[in-house]
Amino acid sequence: MGCAISGLGLAPKKATEAVSEEEEEEEEVHLSSEHITMIKESWKVIQEDIAKVGIIVFVRLFETHPECKDVFFLFRDVEDLERLRTSKEIRAHGLRVMSFIEKSVARLDQLDRLDSLAVELGRSHYRYCAPPKYYGYVGTEFICAVRPILKDKWTSELEKAWKTMFQYVSQLMRQGYNEAEEETKRSNSVGSSRERPDKRNTAL
Ligand code: HEM
């Protein structure tokens, strides 16, 4: 069941190598044209199994990081993760996330369009109360889920390419999340009627 990859650089750090959230934010993530080509080629294969990949990613995410399950109103009380594999809701949610990945892959040649999409997604995750510290886990689980699908087409360079893409998207999501958080703080501090939505996630 385990999947040994090194993570997206967002895994918890040992005390000696601790970096602040700001430092993580400033790390430059560069998507090379070689990486973009590799991602696009591999996506053609992954695409055929997106429903399956979406389910695997979220069931594994909840197994490895149960605290993420608590963010989902519909899943937080589900104890038996095996039952989730056949749930319509997890399939639908997985497909929404995969369709975002699909759009991201399609925008890799126009990064400004990808940037705005991912920042907006981060803003919506502020409303869902899903904080940036968890975003890297999704990329890790995605890589574990697609590796067996790509079989011998999987290479360490392709892994690096997908890791970089998820780092890129996660950073922009973090930016959107932080912006939305700041705006809410500002509007609350001036006594505006705009308030942060209820802590409970009501999106599901
Ligand atoms: C790279 C990381 C992630 C991506 C690309 C992603 C993508 C998405 C997308 C496309 C949606 C559909 C709604 C929308 O477009 O706003 C969504 C919804 C949601 N996500 Fe994420 N997500 C990520 C990480 C996470 C994590 C780690 C959590 C929880 C800890 C989370 C919690 C939620 C919740 C609660 C919803 C709302 C429920 C729903 O509409 O299905 N997300 N996410």
Q: Per-residue pLDDT tens for 81-138?
A: 888 898 999 999 999 999 999 999 999 999 999 999 999 999 999 999 999 999 999 9
Percent of the chain with pLDDT over 70: 80
Ligand 1 pocket, Cβ-based, cut-off 6 angstroms: 68, 71-72, 93, 96-97, 100, 121, 124-125, 128, 130, 134-135, 137-139, 166, 169-170, 201, 203-204
Q: How far is the CA of 22 from the centre of ligand 1 (A)?
A: 22
Which of 119, 128, 163, 170 maximizes ligand 1 atoms within 8 Å of its Cβ, making it the mutation to test the pocket? 128
Gap between the Cα atoms of 66 and 73, Å rounded? 13
Q: What is the per-residue pLDDT for 194?
A: 53
The structural domains of the chain, ordered by start, are 31-189 (1.10.490.10)
Q: How far is the CA of 16 from the centre of ligand 1 (A)?
A: 32
Q: How far is the CA of 129 from the centre of ligand 1 (A)?
A: 10
CB 4 within 8 A of CB 64: no
Q: Of the candidates 64, 88, 82, 77, which has an alpha carbon nearest to the alpha carbon of residue 2? A: 64
Gap between the Cα atoms of 199 and 204, Å rounded? 13
Gap between the Cα atoms of 169 and 19, Å rounded? 20
CB 46 within 8 A of CB 53: yes
Residues present in the chain in total: 204
